[in-house]
């Protein structure tokens, strides 16, 4: 690590940060309609076409944490960290089957959140509340990790002083970044991250393209990189007494790798921010197109993961693995381009953090505030509450980062993945069938949540006594697998069995406000709620 502040890199970083800040505030005037509602503030008027949606979803799913954590996992443990690549490949055929249906029924009935749909489909505010609370809990540590990504970049640039610096001075740059993010999100809603996503993704593609060519040339080629990585992984880890990692996962790790990839694929589009970006598009055809072109990001992710091997070959030594890639950039790149790379990571944190805070705020407003506190809330009141809650969510995430160890934030994000997967039966199941009973779905959700939480609590690591990972022994099989997938299977089993029982005793099922044709309707179809045109866009 270079001594002191890297002035050139910091200047470039500040330039891009100021540029996207201006864009964030200007976004309030981009396609702005006159009415003040959650459709406008929280979903961008449901007006985004193919390319805006593609950049928005890409900015939403491929975050600063992805940029830092995926190669950091490779750096720490080897090829097992590549699980992120197959799961992003698996997810797109999966969402092709259900996202267009969710868009259609949501557009027809004005649903803003997944909980809106669950309440309408099953006639159950209790099940809707469970989905909403799960979404908020799973999103909070995810936002915190975006701030961790910004903090990692600031640390490498030498901003904020050393460990002995007063906490306020040390964290002031992060506080400023947070304040700017909060301000333009409050002002512009989803339009801000949609506009900034263009800059974010362009920078990321440039940085990865340069890194994948420039760094191997400086390190002697990929043969040399893989050879040095293999030697490093063969060394014994003093904390575990085992090799540090492996270029190829062993037989013992295959169940973990496969179940983690599958479970993560099932969970990805259960997150509220993924659905928020999806529902902002203007037609179901936009969604279908995006499922075919979003895999381009998976190619980027595979190249990004290789940076973990390069960090080892470059001799990068860091106590916190999250700093490995920022440190690699500072070591290998000229200062000015290191600043570009740091800006890509920093902006890559701002976009998803904004979308996540909006998504969590929409869940609270529609499915807690309106359903249980003020049922007669006007659209303007809903928007006001959602804006305020979006600020509170970001404050909570900031407090999490500033007061707790960073590994705790990572562990809670892993736990959030286990939790959010338990909403899959109600959401995706409900899009295709009304057979499941609402009480059975609620019971299955509770069993999955309890089992997943207790199992994760029992996982230890060399640095953590509890919540040290997301994999444990699968009951009845004896193999180590992803806890979230095991909890999901228990969830489905309980849901199916109880549905048979509840139907046998003729328990009340609730009123379904949807109809079969709602799930295939498009924006121009008769009877579908058509929002005002707020600008043209070329497909």
pLDDT at residue 195, as a whole number? 87
Indicate the burial class of 36 (C-beta count within 10 angstroms; 0-12, 13-18, 19 or more): middle
Four-residue CA torsion sign, 369, 371, 377, 381:
positive
Query: Is pLDDT at 502 greater than 80 in this prediction?
Result: yes
Residue reference for tokens 């936002």: 143
pLDDT-based confidence at residue 468 (cuts at 50, 70, 90): confident
Query: Is pLDDT at 456 greater than 70 in this prediction?
Result: yes
Phi-psi region of 161 (alpha: psi -120 to 50; beta: other; left: phi over 0): left
Query: Is pLDDT at 455 greater than 90 in this prediction?
Result: yes
pLDDT at residue 273, as a whole number? 92
pLDDT-based confidence at residue 438 (cuts at 50, 70, 90): very high
Q: Which residues of 247-266 are buried (b: 16+ CB within 10 A; e: fewer)?
A: eebeeebebbbbbbbbbbbb
Residue 250: strand, helix, or coil = coil
Residue reference for tokens 């179901």: 284
pLDDT at residue 54, as a whole number? 87
d(CA 379, CA 376): 10
Task: Please name which of 514, 532, 529 lies closest in space to residue 123, comparing C-alpha atoms.
Answer: 514
As a whole number, the mean pLDDT across the chain is 86
Rounded to the nearest 5°, which phi and psi values hold at 525? -70, 150
* pTM exceeds cut of 0.85: yes
d(CA 518, CA 47): 19
d(CA 269, CA 278): 9
d(CA 488, CA 402): 33
Indicate the burial class of 206 (C-beta count within 10 angstroms; 0-12, 13-18, 19 or more): middle
Rounded to the nearest 5°, which phi and psi values hold at 207? -65, -45
Residue 197: strand, helix, or coil = helix
Indicate the burial class of 319 (C-beta count within 10 angstroms; 0-12, 13-18, 19 or more): exposed
Kindly report which listed range (123-137, 203-217, 332-346, 395-409) carries the lowest average pLDDT score.
Answer: 395-409
Question: In the numeric block, which tokens belong to residue 248?
Answer: 């190829």
pLDDT-based confidence at residue 163 (cuts at 50, 70, 90): low
d(CA 294, CA 286): 12
Kindly report which listed range (206-215, 223-232, 405-414, 476-485) carries the lowest average pLDDT score.
Answer: 405-414
Question: Highest mean pLDDT range out of 16-25, 26-35, 153-162?
Answer: 16-25
pLDDT at residue 107, as a whole number? 93
Which tens digit of pLDDT belongs to each residue from 384-398? Answer: 999 999 999 888 888
The answer to whether 216 and 296 are in contact (CB under 8 A) is no
The answer to whether 118 and 292 are in contact (CB under 8 A) is no
- 3-state helix, strand and coil shares in percent for the chain, rounded to the nearest 5: 75, 5, 25
pLDDT at residue 436, as a whole number? 97
């Amino acid at each position: 690590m270079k001594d002191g502040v890297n002035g050139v890199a910091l200047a470039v970083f500040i330039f891009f940060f100021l540029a996207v800040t201006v864009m964030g505030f200007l976004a309030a005037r981009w396609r702005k309609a006159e009415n003040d509602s959650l459709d406008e503030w929280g979903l961008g008027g449901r007006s985004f076409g193919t390319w805006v949606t593609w950049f928005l979803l890409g900015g939403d799913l491929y975050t600063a944490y992805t940029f830092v954590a995926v190669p950091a996992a490779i750096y720490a443990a080897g090829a097992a960290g590549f699980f992120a690549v197959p799961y992003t490949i698996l997810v797109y055929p999966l969402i092709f089957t259900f996202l267009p249906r969710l868009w259609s029924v949501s557009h027809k009935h004005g649903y803003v959140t997944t909980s809106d749909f669950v309440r309408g489909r099953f006639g159950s505010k209790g099940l809707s509340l469970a989905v909403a609370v799960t979404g908020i809990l799973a999103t909070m540590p995810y936002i915190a990790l975006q701030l961790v990504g910004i903090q990692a970049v600031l640390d490498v640039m030498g901003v904020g002083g050393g460990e002995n610096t007063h906490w306020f001075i040390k964290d002031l740059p992060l506080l400023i970044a947070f304040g700017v993010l909060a301000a333009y999100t409050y002002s512009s809603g989803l339009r801000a991250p949609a506009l900034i996503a263009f800059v974010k993704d362009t920078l990321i593609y440039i940085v990865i393209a340069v890194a994948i060519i420039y760094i191997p040339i400086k390190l002697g080629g990929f043969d040399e990189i893989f050879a040095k990585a293999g030697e490093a992984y063969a060394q014994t880890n003093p904390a575990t007494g085992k090799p540090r990692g492996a270029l190829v996962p062993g037989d013992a790790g295959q169940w973990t790798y496969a179940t983690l990839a599958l479970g993560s694929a099932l969970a990805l589009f259960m997150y509220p921010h993924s659905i928020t970006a999806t529902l902002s598009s203007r037609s179901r055809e936009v969604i279908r197109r995006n499922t075919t072109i979003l895999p381009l990001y998976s190619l980027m992710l595979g190249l990004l993961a290789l940076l973990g091997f390069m960090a080892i070959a470059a001799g990068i030594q860091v106590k916190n693995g999250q700093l490995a890639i920022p440190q690699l950039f500072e070591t290998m790149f000229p200062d000015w381009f290191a600043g570009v790379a740091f800006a890509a990571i920093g902006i890559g944190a701002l976009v998803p953090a904004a979308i996540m805070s909006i998504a969590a705020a929409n869940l609270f407003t529609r499915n807690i505030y309106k359903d249980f506190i003020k049922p007669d809330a006007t659209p303007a009141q809903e928007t006001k509450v959602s804006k305020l809650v979006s600020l509170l969510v970001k404050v909570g995430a900031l407090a999490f980062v500033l007061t707790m160890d960073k590994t705790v934030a990572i562990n809670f994000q892993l736990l959030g993945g286990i939790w959010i997967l338990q909403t899959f039966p109600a959401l995706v199941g409900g899009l295709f069938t009304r057979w499941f009973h609402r009480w059975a779905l609620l019971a299955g959700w509770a069993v999955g949540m309890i089992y997943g939480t207790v199992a994760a609590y029992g996982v230890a690591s060399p640095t953590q006594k509890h919540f040290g990972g997301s994999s444990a022994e699968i009951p009845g099989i004896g193999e180590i697998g992803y806890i979230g997938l095991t909890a999901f299977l228990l969830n489905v089993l309980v849901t199916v069995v109880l549905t048979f029982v509840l139907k046998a005793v003729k328990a009340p099922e609730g009123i379904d406000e949807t109809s079969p044709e709602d799930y295939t309707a498009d924006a121009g179809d008769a009877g579908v709620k058509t929002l005002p045109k707020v600008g043209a866009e070329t497909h």
